[in-house]
Each structure stands twice: as C-alpha cells, then as structure tokens.
DNA sequence: AGCACGCCGACT
DNA sequence: GTCGGCGTGCTC
C-alpha cells in the first residue's frame, strides 16, 4: 500500500471559524484526478452535510495539529484547477490583511463554473503558439524609465498624459489607455502576463480599443463583472494557459490566474469603484500591492490625479513617481460665479468668460459640460412652505427626471401623483437649487440655439461622440470621449461637488475635474466655474501630486486614513471594551465609544501601518477580530468632537453592520 | 449555520 | 432516579 494521499482543502463556507485548511483523505478512486486548485465536495461535521471546497495542496502527512480520523473527499466537482496556487496564496494574504476570510476573496476571484463552457474548453486543442509580440516604447515619458521598471519589477506612480488619441480609424481613447497598452506589450514580449485593472466599463472600452491596436486578439482577455457567467468562466479558463496575455477588467481582475505575471497596472486607483463592495472589502490597490510583492512583477498606478494612498507610497519610497516629458499642461481658466451678460447664459449659470469660450469652441467641435447630478430637478420643495418634498410612501426625496415627467421618489420610485405637503398640505412643487443634467441641457440648448445637445449620464450612457459641434452634457464620470478631444470643457457644478461632506471630497473633485479636462483637445480651454482656493489652484497648475501631498499632510495631522489605518469595533459594550483592552499594539489609539443602539457601541481604532498585521490577526478572549475598514467606512463628514469621530447618519447602518459581522462570533 | 455535547428543574 | 432546557463549542 502506497503512502496515504491527503488533500488540504479550503472549505467554501461563510463561517469565519472555518477559514483554515482541513485535511481529507483522498480515496483511491479520486487519486488520479485530484490536484491543487480544483473544486471538490467534502463532508463537514456530521456525515450527510457536504460542502464545496478547493484543494489547496496535496500531501502525504496530516497536519500535526489534528489527530482525529480523516474523512474522505466526497467527490471532484471539476478537474480544472480554477483556483491557481498564486491566487490561493494571494487570497490568504489579502484576507489576513483585512482580517477577513480567504474564501470570501476566492469567491470574487473564481467565477461560477459553467459545465458546458468547461467541456468545450477541455475538448479544444491547446498549445497553439501565439504570434510574437513587439515591445512598444512608452512614448511621452522619460526614455527608458517606465520600460526599465517593467523589466525590473519596479513600482511606479505614473501621471497620465492628459490628451486623447486615435488608436484606429475613428476610434479615440484617453492617452492613458495607450500608455497601459504599451506597458502590456513590454510585459508580454518579455514572457509575462499583464493584468490591467480599470474602475468601470467605460475605461475598459477605451483600454480594449488601445490594446486591440497593438496586440493580436488571442492575447487579450476580458474578465469583468458585466460579462455573462459563461463568458466570465471562458475568460478565466483562457487565463490558465501558459502563453502570456493581457488580462483586462474591473477590480476582480487583480485575482485572475497568471502563472508568470509580468505586470499589474491599475488605472485611476482613486475611483471608488476600485473598492470591493463584498467583505472583506479589499481595494484593487491593496490586492495589487500584495500580489506585486508575492509574484515579483512590475506595478504601475496610472492616473490624472493622485490618490492620497499612492502619494503615501511615494513618500515612503515604496513607489516612484513618473511624469510625462515634455510636460503636458492643459489650459484651465478658473472663473468666479459672476453674472453673465447674456440672459440665457445667466439662466444656464454660466459665467460670461466661459460662455464666450464655449460659443467660440462650438464653431469648431464638441464642447463638454460636466454637471454634478443627472435628471431634471434633483430636488423639489413645496411652493407654499419651502419644505423639501418627501415621498408619501417612504419619506424619500422627490425628484423630476425630465421637464415633463411626473415627480417621483428617488428612493422607492413611486410616482408622486396627488402629492401634498406633509407640513402645510400644499400641492405644488418647485425646484430647489441647480438643475440636473437634463435641465442644464435644456437651458444650454436655449443659450446656444441650433447646437446639437447630447446628454450622457448613468441612465443614458454615451461612450464617444464625433468631432462635429455639439454640447455634451455629462454627469461626472460619465463623460464620453470626443474624436479629436473637446474644443472646450465647462466644469459647471464645482461648488456643489465641493460642498459634499466626506473625508475625500477634495481628492474626489480634483479627480473628477482632472479626468474631464484630460478629454480636451491640446490647447483647448477648460473652465472651472465657481471654485477657488487650493483645490482650484491644483487643477489650474495641473499639480495633482502636490495637492495629494498636502491632503496627506492634513490627514497625518488629524490621524485619518490613509495616514493611519482604521478599524471599527461594534458590539455590546462589554465585547468592545474587552477587544479594546486586548489590543496587541500600544500605538493604536481608540476613539469613542459612541452609542449605536440599545446596548451596543462603536469604537474606532486607529493604528499605524506597521501594526496592521498584529491588529488584523488579534483575537480577544471572546474571539473578536478587528477589521480594517478605512475604505469601507470612508468616515463621511469627519468631525472631531469630544474626541469622537461622528459618522454621517446614512453611513451608520453600514458601520454597524460591518462591525456586527466582525463581532458576530465575538458575541458567542 | 447546524448539530452535538453538557450540566440543572419537573415528571412517570 | 430520568427527560430535556438550550448555553457552549466544533466542524478534518
């Protein structure tokens, strides 16, 4: 009889207690097919209860800590090693950093199996030799700087070139996309795959077009959440081959299998879409940093603005900042909110300089107008008493989608027919504050008669526009790419965007504006309306990194993320107190507790990065774990008051829920 | 999560 | 003396 074959299995269970490897005996009948990375079915506790899991490793000796009798692996779900070893290691590391479960990461990393797709893939011939890829130079940057970083596993923070470029007849993309594409060709030419992570499908379309221009289609894999399940699974299977590929997608793409990984590039890491909404909420940037260290590939953070997180990495010397040479500085004109001479322009809340600039630009091509909100009248109030109008069903705010639409609830969608004011019984509504994209479009249409008006927002996505004159009204982040670039850009709702209450407002605004400005043609004017101060200065001088540096300095002074890491503890007073006294690190400071409900409190723990490992793995006698949630928390509307951080009301539920998930097992 | 094991009140 | 309360703990 040969040595026993033992499979170490990560069980697919949401229970944090099961977040470790279990040993199972491999019966003879499965011995030939079993291998690390495949999905298996294993018994758990009382016979009859069967769980799915992944084989992490095969061994001939049981884990020393367990002396009981091993159960047999029940069966093999699929012989395809969908959880690549490097991804299993990454999942473990990412989970440890965020005090979460590895299986939660694996669920994001491995798409659901599609038997038909798998069958076709297994039957298909493999080992075909793909065409040779030429390594392209990184044009517009200091010669050799990015190239040598890619060759030498370097880490860079790259300021993107704020221009658009044509990658195929009539196909225009942001210049950043060709930078990423060129970087990918270098990794692939050197024999490594490139993982390219973008925040949303808009960016992905641009990147896909840029890649298609420089790589054969067999070298490009799309792996994103928008795909159908079969497409996602097919894409994952393609990544399992030996040939280096460019793998593009949104945040989950950082977990795609890539045995020989040459490069990870993250576009616009400040975009909140890079934050994974599923526990343990690992950000693309953090997963990328872990994977870079683990697999020794190159790592590029590319963006028009710099996140405070990446700025921190630059300051501690972990990543190196690279700027375009020669410098490309867009022409930005800050304009105070002065009354325009033209009545119609004034109605459209456009200052006269911006109005003149837009009128002139409209003679030669498209003009972009960035607004804060979609719809027509985003806020409505009672004509008689001025109270904001609330839904009669759910108390949600009422808004109007178009000039002719019946006002409806922004939360539950109920139409506000027969509406009456809860305060004064009035029945007439009026708009409050500036209008949304549709209203702006209407106003601007009047101010510029005869000009084509295009509205682009979440509901009416427009990816690109041609080079003929048009007013393109877009909500922030939804701006289409214009052929040849916009001849002028109007950043209209700056004031409103800056007024948002969040720890990251300034950073976010600068990012939204910079991304819009980067869509302009070379030399075209961009008008920032109604915003002054340091943030306007940072945009006009195009010195986003400097702004990030001063933001980070402020956060350091206040001990806010990302200067420090933040965890929350929510639970019964006793459980939280116990967990706090059990903190393994004296450098951690504790804010609160604040009451979050009957008998429950929330405490925010701030600690230095160096303490992260100890904090994340700390367990009190009650089993409490701290979770880093700086991102998740956001700490909206930060205020230090009586030495406490108050969290905006709308986020309290999130915080409590997250804390309770952590302490759910602590309470037992 | 489930489902066992485990140590104190009212019953044939 | 036993049947059973669900508190505590484990899952290879």
Stretch A261-283: mean pLDDT: 92
Beta bridge pairs of residue A334: A528
Nearest nt to the CA of A14 via C1' is: B1
Query: pLDDT per residue over A102-115, tens digit each?
Result: 999 999 999 999 99
Query: pLDDT per residue over A453-502, tens digit each?
Result: 999 988 889 999 999 999 999 999 999 999 999 999 999 988 888 877 67
> Which of A182-191, A322-331, A334-343 is the least confident region?
A334-343
**Residue keyed to tokens 């694996």:** A106
Which distant-in-sequence residues (6+ apart) come within 8 Å of A642 by Cβ?
Answer: none
A55, A110 contact by CB (below 8 A): no
User: Which token pair is A632?
Assistant: 């998740």
- For the four alpha carbons of A655, A658, A659 and A664, in that order, the dihedral sign comes to positive
Residue A634 has pLDDT above 60, yes or no: no
Q: A68 CA, B2 C1': separation in Å?
A: 21
Where b means 16+ CB within 10 Å and e means fewer, A534-571 reads: ebbebbbebebbebbbebbeebeeeebbbbbbbbbbbb
Share of chain A above pLDDT 90, in %: 54
Protein-proximal nucleotides of chain B (any atom < 7 Å from a CB): 1-4
A61 touches strand C (CB under 7 A): no
Residue A147 has pLDDT above 60, yes or no: yes
Give the confidence band of A644 by pLDDT, cuts at 50, 70, 90: very low
A50 touches strand B (CB under 7 A): no
User: Which token pair is A285?
Assistant: 């940037």
> Which of A146-150, A153-157, A425-429 is the least confident region?
A425-429
| Closest residue (Cα, C1') to B1 | A15
Instruction: Specify the pLDDT at position A611.
Output: 76
Answer yes or no: pTM beyond 0.75: yes
Q: In Å, how far from its chain's centre is CA A81? A: 28
Stretch A25-49: mean pLDDT: 89
Whole-Å CA distances, A499 to A502, A509, A638: 9, 10, 14
A541 touches strand B (CB under 7 A): no
DSSP A479: P
Instruction: Report CA dihedral (A150, A151, A153, A156) to the nearest 10 degrees.
Output: -30
Query: pLDDT per residue over A211-233, tens digit each?
Result: 999 999 999 999 988 899 999 99
Instruction: Specify the pLDDT at position A661.
Output: 37
Residue A523 has pLDDT above 80, yes or no: yes
Q: A244 CA, C12 C1': separation in Å?
A: 38
Q: A666 CA, C7 C1': separation in Å?
A: 15
Nearest nt to the CA of A668 via C1' is: C8
Nearest nt to the CA of A71 via C1' is: C12
Stretch A525-541: mean pLDDT: 94
Instruction: Specify the pLDDT at position A597.
Output: 64
- For the four alpha carbons of A219, A225, A230 and A236, in that order, the dihedral sign comes to positive
Give the confidence band of A11 by pLDDT, cuts at 50, 70, 90: very high
Give the whole-angstrom CA distance, residue A414 versus residue A427. 17
Instruction: Specify the pLDDT at position A226.
Output: 87
User: Which token pair is A301?
Assistant: 């953070």
Query: pLDDT per residue over A72-105, tens digit each?
Result: 999 999 999 999 999 999 999 998 888 788 999 9
Q: A621 CA, C8 C1': separation in Å?
A: 14
Query: pLDDT per residue over A596-608, tens digit each?
Result: 666 666 777 788 8
A664 touches strand B (CB under 7 A): yes
Nearest nt to the CA of A13 via C1' is: B1
Burial of residue A371 (CB within 10 Å: 0-12, 13-18, 19+) is buried
Give the whole-angstrom CA distance, residue A48 versus residue A292. 42
Query: pLDDT per residue over A152-195, tens digit each?
Result: 999 999 999 999 999 999 999 999 999 999 999 999 999 999 99
Give the whole-angstrom CA distance, residue A134 versus residue A118. 32
A666 touches strand C (CB under 7 A): no
Q: A667 CA, C4 C1': separation in Å?
A: 26
DSSP A458: S
3-class SS shares of chain A: helix, strand, coil, % to 5:
30, 25, 45
Nearest nt to the CA of A73 via C1' is: C12
Give the confidence band of A21 by pLDDT, cuts at 50, 70, 90: very high
Residue A62 has pLDDT above 80, yes or no: no
Whole-Å CA distances, A351 to A69, A264, A334, A335, A343: 79, 43, 10, 7, 11
Residue A363 has pLDDT above 80, yes or no: yes
Give the confidence band of A570 by pLDDT, cuts at 50, 70, 90: low
A45 touches strand B (CB under 7 A): yes
Protein-proximal nucleotides of chain C (any atom < 7 Å from a CB): 8-12
Q: A53 phi and psi, to 5 degrees?
A: -165, 175
Stretch A243-272: mean pLDDT: 96
Stretch A37-46: mean pLDDT: 90
Give the whole-angstrom CA distance, residue A160 versus residue A515. 10
Q: Which of A127-136, A395-404, A628-637 has the highest mean pLDDT?
A: A127-136
A44 touches strand C (CB under 7 A): yes
Instruction: Specify the pLDDT at position A339.
Output: 57
Beta bridge pairs of residue A194: A246, A263
Where b means 16+ CB within 10 Å and e means fewer, A215-250 reads: beeebbbbbbeeeeebbbbbbbbbbbbebbbbbbbb
Give the confidence band of A439 by pLDDT, cuts at 50, 70, 90: confident
Instruction: Specify the pLDDT at position A350.
Output: 80
Stretch A333-346: mean pLDDT: 69
Residue A146 has pLDDT above 80, yes or no: yes
A49 touches strand B (CB under 7 A): yes
Instruction: Specify the pLDDT at position A510.
Output: 97
A86 touches strand C (CB under 7 A): no
Stretch A381-400: mean pLDDT: 75
Instruction: Specify the pLDDT at position A223.
Output: 94
Instruction: Specify the pLDDT at position A331.
Output: 97
Q: A660 CA, C2 C1': separation in Å?
A: 41
Instruction: Specify the pLDDT at position A424.
Output: 82
Instruction: Specify the pLDDT at position A628.
Output: 43
Stretch A404-416: mean pLDDT: 74
Q: A46 CA, B12 C1': separation in Å?
A: 33
A444 or A177: which carries more pLDDT confidence? A177
User: Which token pair is A628?
Assistant: 């880093």
Give the confidence band of A627 by pLDDT, cuts at 50, 70, 90: very low
A210, A271 contact by CB (below 8 A): no
Q: A350 CA, B2 C1': separation in Å?
A: 64
Q: A43 CA, C9 C1': separation in Å?
A: 19
Residue A239 host element (H or E): helix A229-239
A159, A322 contact by CB (below 8 A): yes
Stretch A528-537: mean pLDDT: 92
Stretch A330-357: mean pLDDT: 77
A51 touches strand C (CB under 7 A): no
Instruction: Specify the pLDDT at position A376.
Output: 67
A517, A524 contact by CB (below 8 A): no
Stretch A516-538: mean pLDDT: 95
Instruction: Specify the pLDDT at position A47.
Output: 52
Mean residue pLDDT of chain A comes to 84
Q: Which of residues 516-535 of A touch strand C (CB under 7 A)?
A: none
The HSE-up count of residue A98 (CA atoms within 13 Å, CB side) is 30
């Amino acid at each position: 009889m040969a040595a026993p074959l033992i499979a170490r299995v990560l069980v697919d269970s949401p229970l944090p207690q099961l977040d470790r490897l279990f040993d199972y005996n491999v019966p003879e009948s499965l011995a030939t097919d079993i291998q690390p990375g495949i999905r298996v079915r294993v018994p758990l506790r009382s016979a009859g209860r069967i769980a799915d899991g992944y084989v992490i490793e095969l061994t001939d000796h049981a884990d020393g800590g367990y002396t009981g009798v091993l159960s047999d692996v029940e069966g093999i779900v699929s012989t395809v090693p969908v959880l690549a070893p490097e991804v299993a290691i990454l999942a473990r590391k990412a989970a440890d950093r965020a005090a979460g479960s590895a299986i939660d990461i694996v669920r994001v990393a491995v798409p659901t199996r599609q038997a038909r797709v798998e069958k076709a893939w297994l039957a298909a011939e493999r080992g075909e030799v793909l065409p040779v890829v030429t390594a392209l130079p990184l044009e517009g940057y200091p010669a050799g700087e990015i190239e040598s970083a890619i060759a030498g596993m370097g880490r860079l923070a790259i300021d993107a070139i704020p221009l658009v470029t044509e990658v195929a007849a009539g196909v225009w993309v942001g210049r950043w996309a060709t930078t990423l594409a060129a970087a990918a060709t270098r990794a692939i030419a050197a024999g490594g795959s490139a993982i390219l992570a973008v925040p949303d499908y808009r960016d992905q379309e641009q990147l896909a077009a840029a890649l298609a221009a420089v790589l054969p289609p067999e070298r490009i894999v799309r792996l994103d959440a928008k795909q159908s399940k079969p497409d996602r699974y097919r894409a994952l299977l393609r990544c399992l081959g030996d040939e280096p590929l460019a793998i593009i997608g949104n945040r989950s793409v950082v977990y795609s299998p890539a045995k020989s990984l040459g490069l990870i590039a993250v576009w616009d890491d400040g975009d909140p879409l890079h934050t994974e909404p599923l526990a343990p909420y690992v950000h693309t940037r953090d997963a990328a940093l872990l994977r870079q260290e683990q697999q020794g590939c190159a790592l590029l953070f590319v963006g028009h603005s710099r996140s405070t997180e990446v700025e921190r990495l630059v300051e501690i010397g972990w990543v190196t900042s690279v700027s375009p040479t020669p410098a490309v500085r867009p022409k930005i004109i800050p304009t105070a909110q002065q009354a325009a001479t033209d009545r119609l322009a004034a109605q459209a809340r456009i200052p006269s300089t911006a109005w003149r600039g837009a009128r002139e630009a409209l003679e030669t091509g498209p003009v972009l107008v960035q607004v804060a909100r979609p719809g027509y009248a985003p806020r409505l109030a009672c004509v008689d008493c001025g109270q904001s109008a609330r839904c009669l069903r759910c108390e949600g705010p009422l808004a109007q989608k178009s000039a002719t639409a019946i006002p409806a609830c922004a939360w539950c969608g109920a139409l506000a027919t027969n509406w009456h004011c809860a305060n004064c019984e009035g029945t007439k509504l009026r708009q409050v504050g500036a209008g949304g994209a549709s209203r702006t479009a209407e106003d601007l249409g009047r101010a510029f008669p005869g000009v084509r008006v295009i509205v682009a927002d979440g509901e009416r996505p427009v990816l690109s526009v041609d080079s003929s004159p048009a007013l393109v009204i877009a909500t922030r982040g939804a701006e289409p790419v214009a052929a040849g670039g916009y001849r002028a850009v109007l950043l209209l709702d700056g004031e409103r965007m800056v007024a948002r209450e969040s720890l990251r407002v300034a950073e976010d605004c600068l990012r939204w504006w910079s991304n819009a400005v980067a869509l302009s043609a070379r030399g075209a004017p961009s008008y920032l309306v109604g915003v002054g101060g340091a943030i306007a200065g940072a945009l006009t001088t195009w010195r986003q990194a400097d702004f990030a540096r001063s933001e980070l300095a402020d956060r350091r002074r206040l001990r806010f993320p990302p200067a420090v890491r933040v965890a929350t503890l929510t639970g019964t007073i006793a459980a939280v107190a116990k967990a706090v006294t059990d903190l393994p690190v004296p450098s951690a400071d504790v804010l609160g507790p604040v009451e979050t409900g009957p008998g429950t409190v929330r405490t925010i723990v701030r600690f230095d990065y160096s303490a992260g490992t100890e904090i994340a793995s700390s367990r009190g006698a009650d089993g409490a774990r701290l979770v880093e949630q700086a991102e998740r928390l956001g700490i909206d509307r930060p205020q230090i008051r009586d030495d406490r951080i108050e969290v905006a009301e709308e986020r309290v539920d999130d915080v409590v829920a997250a804390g309770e998930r952590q302490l759910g097992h602590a309470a037992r």
